[in-house]
A and B are shown apart, each in its own frame.
Chain A
Amino acid sequence: MKKETVKIKTLTDNNRMSTQELLQLISSKIAEGYTDFDIEACGQHNIGGSSWALNREEKLNFKITNPGQRAGAMALSGTRITIEGSAPADVGWLNSGAKIIVNGDCGDTAAHCAAGGKIFVSGRVGTRSGALMKHDPKYNPPEFWVLKNTGSFSFEFMGGGIAVVCGYDCEGLSSVLGNRSCVGMVGGCIYVRGPIANIADCVEIKELEENDIEFLKTGLKDFLQNIDKSDLYDELTLWNEWKKIAAEASSHKTNKMSVAEFRQKNWIKDGIFSDFINDDYVVYKIPAVNEGRVHIPHWTKTDCIKCNICVKNCPQKAIEVKDNSYNSINEKCIGCGICAAVCPKKCWTMSDNRKEIL
């Protein structure tokens, strides 16, 4: 096995190696058994990504300066990438297991769609960082550690994994997650130290629990060691400065006051028509009894032969006989008119229940 480090300078005499040339050079070296690379890049994309050592037991190591976009894209476990200085957009895009350390800032969409591995950033990360991170339960969840802050729209549509934003060197910022972060977030969690503002309403912000603190204690030690900032450990471990953001369980969704409540509590007392109409807002059943009837029966004695046909036919059993007189019970009668239809002597008549409003 060849153990010496492959050193690649991508800019010689004003001639820049193309991304394709560089990546193919790296893969040919890997095919020869090399595992360690020291790359002075010049904006080439995808360095360190989708590679594995010839001997699968061994690890790949990349040291990169001045990378282009998507450093460590689609990287696998067994890959370790260290970027000296800052890196542009998409660091760790679709990271599937690599450890990526950025000793500087990251551009936009760092850790975009990362589903494994660890990404450590010693500076700030740009907008939409952590977007669409996810966790395949067959593997360890992805971790995304940021020492300072993220840009706006970070962690949108996040589906899984763990992000930690330490809020170091963020004095004066109104939000260490920028504006409108976590939109569409459905899973995973974010630990944040420092102010949060204008975050999406699909998440809830919680206090840390015992196991959260345990995770952060161990994790922070490792993170700070990797970015060579172990001296910050004490400053960053005041747990009351931290919060945990998680997708809100649908049962927890904030319940807005219902319209009915609004009418009773906020709306004009007794309703806007109450100087004309004494409306109790009761809703009549259909069909209704009492006042809610469209038609109302009336009985007159004149020709009654007491045949009781009305009583027998009334579907509501609403007709009572008292002292030779027939009476419809308002609480039972729905005003169907069957009594009026069956009475051989037309003793029952129906009238419309039309009322002038008082």
Chain B
Amino acid sequence: MATISINQLHLDDLPWIIEYDEEKCIQCGKCTAVCSFGAIKPEVEKRRKNTSCNQEPSFERVLVIKQQISFQHHCRGCGMCSRVCPNGAIKAIRNHNDRYSVRYRAAKADSLKKGGRSNLNTEGRTLDKIKIGRISQMTDPSLDAARHQFELKTPFGRVLSADKLAFRCENGKMELSKQLPPNRWIYPILMGDMSIGAISWRMWEAMAIATAYLNEVIGIPVRMCTGEGGIPVRLLKSRYVKYMILQIASGHFGWNRIIQAMPDMVEDPAGILIKIGQGAKPGDGGLLMASKVARYVQEIRGVPRADLLSPPTHQGLYSIEESVQKMFLSMNAAFNFRVPVAIKVAASVTSVSVYNNLLRDPYNIVGGFFIDGLAGGTGAAHEISLDHTGHPITSKLRDCYLAAVHQGRQGEIPLFAGGGLGQTGSFAADAFKLICLGANGVFTGRLLLEIAGCVGNDTGKCNACNTGLCPAGLATQDVCLTKRLDIDVAAQNIVNYFIATDMELKKLMGPVGNSTLPIGRSDALISVDKHIANRLDIQYVC
């Protein structure tokens, strides 16, 4: 006789429960065929055939779809089964009584990991409580988003104040006596920052293609950051590398190949981003589960197949000053001071001190400060970090900007903000508001996955990027899953989204009356929330 035990995993412990309608099911097998988690399987159930107790019991065997109950094969709620079902006979329903996180820790003596993003954001987003309230109405002609030519470009790289520009007069001509720090005028939205390995090769290449296409066919000078997993040599040696920002994180993955390729590069990269931390799991290093360390990932990174943990800090950097002296200097030297170098940190209570310190950089080699807020996404993280650490982006960005303003040095080290932008639907609005609050630009990664076809959401649907079993072929290295992704459609969708966002940014710039980016134009913003208005120093309205 089959029995159960109290401490084994049960169906009602799981976060998602499969609702299966036997009447509608035609047993086509599509649902079980597509489930990458192995969370459902066809099984034969033994059932009593006759209902009368006067008869000898007789039984029949019935084929049904059964949910699997295991830590490895539990349902993540991705919904692929209901997508393929011709009759709507199956779907995953959220279990509000689940005990999965308790059970997992109790059974495995291991911290719980997941991908995606924090799902504890219950307070609502600050950016949604801000509106653009300063509209040109008879005061000054508002711009026409279609007619006017807008300049949506922002500097990436150190900007010197006028008194530091070393001009001299030579034969009646003004000349620079010293090389200026490298600076590139780029689109105010940077994409990517997701490593080879964390996302599939098709998704990574789709982003790279979208970037090149946006630059060369559409004329939107967007830049893509490689993430910390290196960059394919074929891209490195192509002219398209000029659109790529190379990332170096604490794991320093992929830099061997970059250095080896340097003599053969035909273009400089767009920039270098030193990643100190990321907003979704601040203080924790990168985490690439072994299931995603495919052979090519092993090669580019120079490591075997294993869980790859980047250290939480850059070894050898012990202070802000040392970071500037060592890391910024080395990365500037890498391309002979021709390529701007920026740094990315997780938003933190300490961000302003860091920014103030960077502003004092005596070598003019700090080319940008990226702050990543807690609502960002990640390919894999410990849930404890994802859900309970971090700092919202909005006030932190504002604090940094105002810190620079108080010294009269705003804009000298461009500020970039990111972390969960576009979460509630409008990426352009989020970007615009952050720019008005002082950002030179914004960056996004997770949103690109959503654009390309991610089936998850912000409330715990799927969020299984860490498993390497991404049903959409985005966060996996599995051949059969990755090839579900149409690289052209994914790239085209990213391109389309940028074109739409570009129009929408102009639709916001027009009413405010700016034809260039309204960086720091906080007078354009209002809030119906008094605390937010006070904290951000914008107008409170009601």
Contact = CB atoms under 8 A, between A and B. Distances in A.
Interface of A: 153, 156, 180, 183-184, 200, 256-260, 262-263, 266-268, 271-277, 279, 281-284, 286-288, 291-295, 313, 315-316, 334-338, 340-342, 352-358
A275 B296 CA distance: 9
Contact of B234 (A153, A274, A341): A274
Given A153-B147, A273-B201, A313-B63, A260 B488 contact: yes
B241 to A, nearest CB: 10
B80 A338 contact: no
Contacts of B491: 259, 263
B294 A356 contact: yes
B492 A258 contact: yes
Contacts of B43: 341
Given A184-B146, A291-B479, A293-B480, A337 B32 contact: yes
B38 A336 contact: no
Given A336-B33, A354-B478, A341 B484 contact: no
Given A262-B216, A315-B27, A357-B296, 12 more contacts: A153-B147, A183-B146, A272-B235, A273-B232, A281-B202, A283-B486, A284-B484, A292-B484, A315-B26, A335-B33, A355-B478, A357-B295
Nearest to B196: A273
Given A268-B234, A272-B234, A262 B217 contact: yes
Contacts of B149: 180
A183 B146 CA distance: 7
Contacts of B29: 315-316, 334, 336-338
B41 interface: yes
Interface stretch (B153-161, B205-213, B282-290): B205-213
A282 B483 contact: yes
Contact of B485 (A258, A277, A283, A313): A283
Contact of B34 (A266, A268, A286): A286
6 contacts: A263-B209, A286-B84, A287-B30, A291-B479, A294-B481, A354-B478
A130 B493 CA distance: 38
Closest 10 CB pairs of A and B: A336-B29, A276-B296, A260-B488, A341-B42, A287-B33, A183-B147, A334-B33, A259-B492, A272-B232, A272-B235
B6 interface: no
Contacts of A338: 27, 29, 32, 42, 63
Interface of B: 26-36, 38, 41-44, 63, 80, 83-84, 144, 146-147, 149, 201-202, 205, 208-210, 212-213, 216-218, 232-235, 238, 240, 294-296, 299, 477-481, 483-488, 491-492, 495
Nearest to A314: B29
Contact of B480 (A200, A294, A336, A356): A294
Contact of B32 (A283, A336, A353): A336
Question: SS class of chain A's interface: helix, strand, loop or mixed?
Answer: loop
B318 to A, nearest CB: 37
A33 to B, nearest CB: 42
Contacts of B234: 268, 271-275
Contacts of B232: 272-273, 275-276
Contacts of A258: 488, 492
A42 to B, nearest CB: 28
B244 to A, nearest CB: 10
Nearest to B484: A284
A303 to B, nearest CB: 16
Given A353-B480, A357-B479, A257 B44 contact: no
A315 B213 CA distance: 43
B253 to A, nearest CB: 15
Contact of A277 (B33, B201, B213): B201
A71 B240 CA distance: 57
Given A259-B491, A268-B240, A336 B209 contact: no
Among the interface residues B33, B84, B144, B484, which one has the most CB atoms of the partner chain A within 10 A?
B33
Nearest to A316: B29
B218 A342 contact: no
Nearest to A285: B484
A305 B34 CA distance: 30
A156 B147 contact: yes
Contact of A283 (B147, B201, B205, B484): B484
A342 B483 contact: no
A356 to B, nearest CB: 5
Contacts of B44: 341-342
Contacts of A334: 29-30, 33
A273 B477 CA distance: 13
Given A180-B149, A286-B80, A294 B201 contact: no
B209 A295 contact: no
Contacts of A292: 480, 483-484
A184 B32 CA distance: 52
B232 to A, nearest CB: 4
A294 B34 contact: yes
Nearest to A283: B486
Contacts of B201: 273, 276-277, 279
A276 B479 contact: no
A287 B147 contact: no
A262 B205 contact: no
A357 to B, nearest CB: 5
Contacts of A277: 201, 296
B216 A271 contact: no
Contacts of B42: 336-338, 340-342
A55 B234 CA distance: 84
B296 A341 contact: no
A279 to B, nearest CB: 7
A334 to B, nearest CB: 4
Nearest to B477: A357
A267 B216 CA distance: 11
Contacts of A341: 41-44, 63
Contacts of A279: 201-202, 483
A153 B148 CA distance: 9
A284 B28 contact: no
Given A337-B42, A352-B38, A293 B484 contact: no
Contacts of B212: 262, 266-267
B484 A291 contact: no
Contacts of B34: 286-287, 294
A263 B487 contact: yes
Contacts of A291: 479-480, 483
A295 B38 contact: yes
A180 B149 CA distance: 9
A90 to B, nearest CB: 16
Nearest to B80: A286
Among the interface residues B29, B30, B144, B491, which one has the most CB atoms of the partner chain A within 10 A?
B29
Contacts of A267: 209, 212, 240
Nearest to B494: A259
B405 to A, nearest CB: 35
Nearest to B239: A268
Given A277-B201, A334-B30, A337-B42, A259 B495 contact: yes
Contacts of A353: 480
